[in-house]
């Protein structure tokens, strides 16, 4: 594999890892507060549809982004209402959101556009374009440094850079702020937080809202950054892969970045079977390459990558002692 081909594979890795990373960080906030969220997939799907649909109608991707975030946060609010206020089963609530989003997006898209559950193809201001960083064109011909900066770091859409910046921001919020300390405490010992006079319900709803915001960004990137419109079930299990990456990362932001890049790299290799075959010297089935991220997901969830201990109060509704 030559250097430029490697840069292209890594460039594709970053693009494919971005929705996983945003969804993984969304689950990180939620689960650190003690709310398990299987519904990442559904919120991403709803956001992908609403962003593409509204962008197609208005011609503005920013208006579509606001709609997508709003839709994801609405579903997050439903999950919060079910699991926090009514103390329902968090896993069932998340699965219900996935089913709801999978059905409604196709039905509404067909009713709205009449294109078999799709939205119209997006172009121009209706989707996110690429951003060329300063001096990218000037230094492109410099050996090593030029291709890395001009072709790998530069040339991504806005939401890719937002996703990467969210990693240090998430680390700072969770581990260097009072809000983050309280959020983590709610996931470990909500009774102690309540005793200190801090609202457990308020903190958990805040975490669920942040989860909705980030999954909204993830879904919007899928339909207006990575692709140019919405198609049925376009998340393709990314919400579940993000949960596996979260477990793999042991609920830590920087580890989450590495885990999502690993999944993104496997997906990028599936798009370039010629690279694998040229490296290994024999033909590899495309179906096997496509299945690699999902195989890794099963391996991680089966517990073969070391023991990952979730927050102690995760998945348990809090009942205030009287």
Model confidence pLDDT, tens digit, residues 104-119: 999 999 999 998 889 9
Q: Find the range with the poorest average confidence among 92-96, 141-145, 181-185.
A: 141-145
Average pLDDT of 244-262? 92
Residue 208: the pLDDT is 96
> Is the pLDDT reported for residue 306 higher than 70?
no
CATH architecture classification, 3-127+144-301: Orthogonal Bundle (1.10)
> Is the pLDDT reported for residue 246 higher than 90?
yes
- Could you give the residue ranges of the DSSP H alpha helices within the chain? 3-32, 40-58, 61-80, 90-113, 145-147, 158-176, 178-188, 190-195, 200-221, 238-248, 253-271, 273-280, 286-301
Per domain, the residue ranges of the chain are: 3-127+144-301
Average pLDDT of 64-82? 96
Positive or negative: CA dihedral 33, 39, 40, 43: negative
Other C-beta atoms lying within 10 Å of the C-beta of residue 176: 9
- Cα–Cα distances (Å) from 186 to 32, 122, 183, 197, 263, in that order, read 8, 42, 5, 12, 30
Residue for token pair 């896993």:
91
Q: Given pLDDT bands bounded at 50, 70 and 90, which one contains residue 147? A: confident
pLDDT digits (tens, 9 = 90+) for 9-67: 899 999 999 999 999 999 999 999 999 999 999 999 999 999 999 999 999 999 999 99
Average pLDDT of 281-291? 70
Residue 136: the pLDDT is 85
What's the rounded Cα separation, in Å, for the pair 57 and 24?
Answer: 30
> Is the pLDDT reported for residue 251 higher than 70?
yes
> Is the pLDDT reported for residue 214 higher than 90?
yes
Cα 188 → chain centroid: 24
What's phi and psi for 173, nearest 5 deg?
-65, -45
Q: Of the candidates 245, 234, 295, 252, which has an alpha carbon nearest to the alpha carbon of residue 270?
A: 295
> Is the pLDDT reported for residue 266 higher than 80?
yes
Residue 178: the pLDDT is 95
What's the rounded Cα separation, in Å, for the pair 61 and 53?
Answer: 10
> Is the pLDDT reported for residue 322 higher than 80?
no
> Is the pLDDT reported for residue 321 higher than 70?
no
Which position has the higher pLDDT, 283 or 220?
220
Q: Given pLDDT bands bounded at 50, 70 and 90, which one contains residue 304? A: low
Q: Given pLDDT bands bounded at 50, 70 and 90, which one contains residue 280? A: low
Residue 94: the pLDDT is 94
Mean per-residue pLDDT over the chain, rounded = 90
Tokens of 111: 């009713």
Average pLDDT of 241-257? 92
């Amino acid at each position: 594999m030559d250097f430029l081909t490697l840069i292209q594979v890594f460039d594709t890795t970053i693009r494919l890892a971005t929705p996983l990373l945003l969804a993984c960080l969304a689950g990180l906030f939620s689960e650190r507060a003690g709310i398990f969220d299987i519904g990442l997939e559904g919120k991403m799907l709803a956001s992908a549809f609403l962003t593409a649909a509204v962008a197609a109608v208005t011609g503005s991707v920013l208006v579509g982004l606001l709609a997508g975030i709003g839709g994801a946060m609405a579903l997050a609010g439903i999950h919060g209402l079910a699991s926090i206020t009514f103390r329902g089963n968090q896993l069932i609530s998340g699965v219900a959101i996935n089913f709801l989003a999978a059905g409604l997006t196709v039905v509404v898209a067909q009713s709205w556009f009449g294109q078999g559950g799709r939205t119209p193809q997006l172009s121009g201001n209706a989707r996110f374009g690429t951003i060329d960083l300063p001096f990218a064109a000037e230094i492109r011909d410099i050996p090593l440094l030029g291709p890395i900066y001009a072709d790998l770091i530069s040339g991504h859409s806005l939401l890719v850079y937002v996703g990467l910046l969210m990693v240090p921001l998430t680390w700072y919020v969770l581990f260097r702020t009072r809000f983050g300390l309280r959020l983590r405490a709610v996931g470990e010992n909500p009774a102690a937080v309540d005793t200190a006079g801090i609202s457990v319900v308020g903190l958990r709803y805040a975490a669920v809202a942040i989860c909705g915001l980030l999954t909204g960004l993830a879904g919007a990137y899928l339909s207006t950054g990575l692709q140019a419109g919405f198609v049925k079930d376009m998340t393709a299990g990314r919400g579940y892969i993000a949960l596996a990456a979260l477990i793999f990362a042991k609920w830590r932001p920087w580890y989450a970045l590495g885990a999502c890049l690993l999944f993104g790299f496997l997906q990028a290799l599936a798009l370039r079977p010629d690279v694998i075959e040229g490296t290994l010297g024999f033909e590899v089935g495309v179906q096997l390459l496509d299945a690699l991220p999902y195989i890794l997901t099963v391996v991680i969830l089966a517990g073969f990558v070391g023991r990952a201990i979730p927050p102690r109060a995760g998945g348990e509704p809090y009942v205030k002692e009287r």
